[in-house]
């Protein structure tokens, strides 16, 4: 299994911030307000009519792709809606943020759906929540809003009234049907046995072989992005860490980074190192639990029993450090809320070392079991090309040969001082996704130890200054599933005018549709568990 370090993207030259700005200024496109925002952003205004050629230009010149598309209702400030396109440049810590104005009296904008699949999902979301219309979109079926929402109601408009009464007229969601001799449909959910969030899965099968899968999510859509606009920024961290319970630290950290970027606030170095410890503790307990759960779905339940015991040890460690098993309440904009004493540091070292030693024993036993390996190898394979076209992220991408990790590629907290190894496998199957977890759990333990070794003295937080009205910024954190994005815009009176969140599950749910093809129905729980995506993180 190779450990790799990227440099550039498919042969594209690696640019710097000023170089990107110079090349954008040299184009013949209608660009306005071009400015560099050190250390890593170029911001530019793009005319609506030239959005498509602009997007193709940055892809062709820099290998860039839109990882986040945000709609904002800015009619009160400038008379138009605003779309933000955050293009990530591969192989370099740079971003191009393009802003597009959409007139109130003509709410159309060019679709990028046929160029990037992920853009099609953002555009469907914008169409539902804002009523803006992506022209030439190939599939404008509803995404976050189900069929019982009134067609003309768009809840993220600033002048949206109170939610109307829902009415289900019995019209089903227009699933695509696969027809032919011997094809049958199996529907699962949205209510499942056991303690699990709701999601609807519709399989088309020939015998036991799956030939198509469609999912319908958003049964737990909570309007979280709108909730952010109703509370002060300092309280909003509490909301961020509740977006997806098993990613409390990662979401809170992404939100804090967005606040700090907007306020141009540098956090103390000790706080940066402590953030690494907290984030890696979250990564460690989740990866260990997932390895056990994957083994359970092969029938090797004893591995899961031991993995859950180790997870419990780590959750109890979390409670001893922060008075919360999921580490909630540990992060604030400007730093962290809890320091580590010498006794606590010793506790972390002893517990993490013991847990990882025992975890290695569990992995060795599991991987020596031919019954386990027979179920893992070749099951739920997601080819690299498919993963790249779907813009799959995080551990699922690394298991399919895509070498990306925001901790290394876009360093945050103290990761610039703590170089890490990124595991990448080419097989793309359940085995590869398990092995990425195994290696990342080991590396998480290593990072915790190194962060504690280098923990500097000093303060653990800095005060957050008032947010300048109209200022914006984003946070990007590599959570245990993958990259988490938080974009925010400051409003008047130190309030939040807009918060947009992208959980890695939003990008990765469609990948299951492809990974499960040509597998048999009984393999679906195993494939699904190997991705272990968040319903709550997707549904928001």
Same domain, 505 and 421: yes
Task: Tell me whether residue 169 is in a domain.
Answer: no
Alpha helices in 323-409 (DSSP H): 342-367, 370-376, 384-390, 394-399, 406-409
The pTM (predicted TM-score) of the whole model is: 0.94
Q: List the domain range (segments joined by +) for residue 350.
A: 224-539
Same domain, 198 and 329: no
> What is each CA distance from 302 to 144, 309, 313, 428, 523, in whole angstroms?
39, 11, 17, 26, 20
Same domain, 79 and 109: yes
pLDDT at 149: 86
Task: Tell me whether residue 11 is in a domain.
Answer: no
Structure tokens at 170: 């019995």
Q: Decide which of 216, 232, 261 is a domain's last residue.
A: 216
Beta-carbon contacts of residue 23 (< 8 Å; ≥ 6 apart): 15, 61
Same domain, 506 and 365: yes
Same domain, 209 and 269: no
- Encode pLDDT of 44-87 as tens digits: 999 999 999 999 999 999 999 999 999 999 999 999 999 999 99
What's the sign of the alpha-carbon dihedral 223, 228, 229, 230? positive
pLDDT at 179: 87
Task: Tell me whether residue 522 is in a domain.
Answer: yes
CB neighbour class for 138 (10 Å; exposed up to 12, middle 13-18, buried from 19): exposed
- Find the angle CA(59)-CA(61)-CA(62) to the nearest 5 degrees: 70
Residue range 477-501: mean pLDDT, rounded: 96
Given a cut of 70, whether residue 35 has pLDDT beyond it is yes
Task: Tell me whether residue 468 is in a domain.
Answer: yes
- Encode pLDDT of 413-436 as tens digits: 999 999 999 999 999 999 999 999
Residue range 314-336: mean pLDDT, rounded: 96
pLDDT bracket for residue 375 (50, 70, 90): very high
Same domain, 196 and 258: no
pLDDT bracket for residue 8 (50, 70, 90): very low
- Find the angle CA(422)-CA(425)-CA(431) to the nearest 5 degrees: 120
Q: Decide which of 98, 115, 135 is a domain's last residue.
A: 135
Same domain, 387 and 424: yes
- Encode pLDDT of 336-360 as tens digits: 999 999 999 999 999 999 999 999 9
Task: Tell me whether residue 173 is in a domain.
Answer: no
**How many domains, in total, are found in the chain?**
3
Task: Tell me whether residue 37 is in a domain.
Answer: yes
pLDDT bracket for residue 147 (50, 70, 90): confident
Q: Decide which of 101, 135, 169 is a domain's last residue.
A: 135
pLDDT at 14: 62
pLDDT at 47: 96
Same domain, 237 and 327: yes
Given a cut of 70, whether residue 12 has pLDDT beyond it is no
pLDDT at 148: 84
Task: Tell me whether residue 171 is in a domain.
Answer: no
Same domain, 202 and 255: no
Task: Tell me whether residue 497 is in a domain.
Answer: yes
The CATH number given to whatever domain includes residue 509 is 1.10.645.10
Using CA atoms, how far apart are residues 313 and 445, in angstroms rounded to an integer? Answer: 14
Same domain, 212 and 230: no
């Amino acid at each position: 299994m190779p450990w790799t370090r990227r440099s550039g993207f498919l042969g594209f030259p690696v640019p710097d911030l000023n170089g990107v700005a110079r090349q954008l200024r040299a184009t013949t496109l209608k660009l306005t307000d071009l400015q560099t925002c050190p250390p890593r952003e170029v911001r530019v205004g793009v005319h609506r009519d030239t959005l498509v050629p602009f997007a193709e230009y940055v892809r062709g010149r820099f290998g860039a792709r839109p990882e986040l598309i945000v709609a904002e209702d800015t009619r009160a400030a400038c008379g138009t809606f605003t779309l933000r396109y955050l293009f990530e440049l591969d192989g370099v810590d740079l971003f191009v943020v393009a802003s597009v104005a959409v007139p109130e009296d003509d709410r159309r904008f060019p679709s990028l759906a046929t160029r990037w699949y992920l853009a099609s999902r953002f555009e469907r979301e914008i169409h539902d929540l804002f009523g803006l219309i992506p022209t030439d979109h190939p599939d404008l079926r509803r995404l976050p809003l189900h069929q019982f929402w009134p067609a003309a109601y768009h809840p993220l408009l600033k002048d949206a009234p109170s939610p109307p009464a829902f009415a289900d007229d019995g019209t089903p969601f227009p699933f695509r049907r696969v027809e032919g001799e011997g094809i049958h449909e199996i529907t699962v959910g949205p209510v499942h046995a056991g303690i699990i969030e709701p999601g609807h899965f519709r399989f088309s099968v020939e015998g036991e072989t799956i030939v198509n899968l469609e999912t319908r999510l958003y049964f737990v859509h909570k309007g979280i992005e709108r909730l952010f606009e109703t509370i002060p920024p300092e309280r909003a961290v509490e909301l961020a860490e509740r977006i997806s319970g098993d990613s409390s630290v990662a979401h809170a950290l992404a939100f804090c980074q967005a606040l700090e970027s907007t306020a141009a606030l540098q956090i103390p170095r000790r706080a940066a190192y402590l953030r690494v410890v907290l984030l890696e503790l979250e990564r460690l307990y989740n990866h260990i639990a997932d390895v056990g759960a994957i083994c359970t779905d092969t029938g090797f339940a004893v591995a899961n029993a031991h993995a859950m015991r180790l997870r419990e040890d780590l959750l109890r460690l979390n409670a001893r450090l922060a008075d919360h098993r999921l580490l909630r309440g540990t992060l604030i904009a400007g730093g962290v809320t809890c320091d580590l004493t010498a006794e606590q540091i010793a506790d972390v070292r002893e517990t993490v070392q013991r847990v990882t030693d025992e975890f290695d024993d569990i992995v060795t036993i599991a991987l020596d079991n031919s019954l386990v390996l027979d179920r893992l190898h070749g099951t739920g394979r997601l080819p690299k090309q498919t993963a790249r076209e779907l813009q799959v992220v995080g551990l699922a991408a690394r298991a399919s040969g895509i070498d990306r990790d925001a901790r290394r590629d876009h360093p945050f907290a103290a990761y610039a001082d703590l170089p890490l190894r990124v595991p990448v496998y080419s097989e793309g199957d359940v085995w590869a996704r398990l092995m990425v977890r195994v290696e990342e759990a080991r590396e998480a333990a290593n990072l915790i130890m190194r962060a504690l070794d280098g923990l500097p003295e000093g303060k653990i937080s800095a005060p957050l200054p008032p947010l300048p009205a109209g200022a914006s910024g984003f946070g990007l954190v590599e959570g245990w599933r993958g990259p988490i994005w938080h974009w925010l815009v400051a409003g008047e009176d130190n309030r939040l005018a807009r918060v947009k969140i992208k959980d890695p599950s939003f990008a990765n749910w469609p990948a299951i549709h492809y990974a499960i093809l040509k597998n048999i129905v009984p393999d679906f729980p195993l494939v699904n568990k190997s991705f272990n995506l968040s319903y709550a993180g997707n549904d928001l």
